[in-house]
Amino acid sequence: MHIAHLNTLLLGLLLLSGLFAGQLANKVGLPRVAAYVLIGTLFSPDFFGQFLQIGSIEWAQPLTHIALGIIAFIIGGSITTNQLQRMGKSMISIALAESLGAILAVFWHLSFLGLHFSTNPR
């Protein structure tokens, strides 16, 4: 089979698997996003993707970015204005705390490794 046809077939299999897993998760009462993440993990090069040679395909990385964008869109679309008004301040404070925590953790680890930050270059 020609490689372009194989890639198209593989993409279709991935999309159909996500669709069916999302429907199944919805019927069971789980979030569809959890099913999408599970299918994406199963198709990753570390699991079943190694048998399907997904890791060697040049569009695997852009497909990952598109999938993450779709998941973020679905999560963002499920937030209502009432939820945003009720949890808006805590969401902003959590995001700021995570960002500041990451900056401090990187700074601390680099200092621990002996990289010092000074204004005077030596």
Domain shared by 90 and 42, yes or no: no
Domain shared by 33 and 62, yes or no: yes
According to the model, what pLDDT value does residue 39 have? 86
Domain shared by 7 and 24, yes or no: yes
pTM of the entire predicted model: 0.56
DSSP-derived secondary structure for the chain: --HHHHHHHHHHHHHHHHHHHHHHHHHHT--HHHHHHHHHHHTSTTTTHHHHT-TT-TTHHHHHHHHHHHHHHHHHHT--HHHHHHHHHHHHHHHHHHHHHHHHHHHHHHHHTT----SS--
Q: Give 98 or 76, the one with higher predicted confidence.
A: 98
Q: Give 119 or 62, the one with higher predicted confidence.
A: 62
Which of 78, 95, 112 lies at the terminal end of a domain, its last residue?
A: 78
**Residue-wise pLDDT tens digits, 18-66:** 889 989 999 999 988 888 888 888 877 777 766 766 655 666 677 778 7
The domain in which residue 53 lies consists of 1-78
Domain shared by 44 and 68, yes or no: yes
Percentage of the residues of the chain whose pLDDT score is greater than 70? 79
Domain shared by 24 and 64, yes or no: yes
Percentage of the residues of the chain whose pLDDT score is greater than 90? 18
Q: Give 100 or 90, the one with higher predicted confidence.
A: 100
Domain shared by 13 and 42, yes or no: yes
Mean pLDDT of the chain: 80
According to the model, what pLDDT value does residue 105 have? 94
- Report the number of distinct structural domains present in the chain: 2
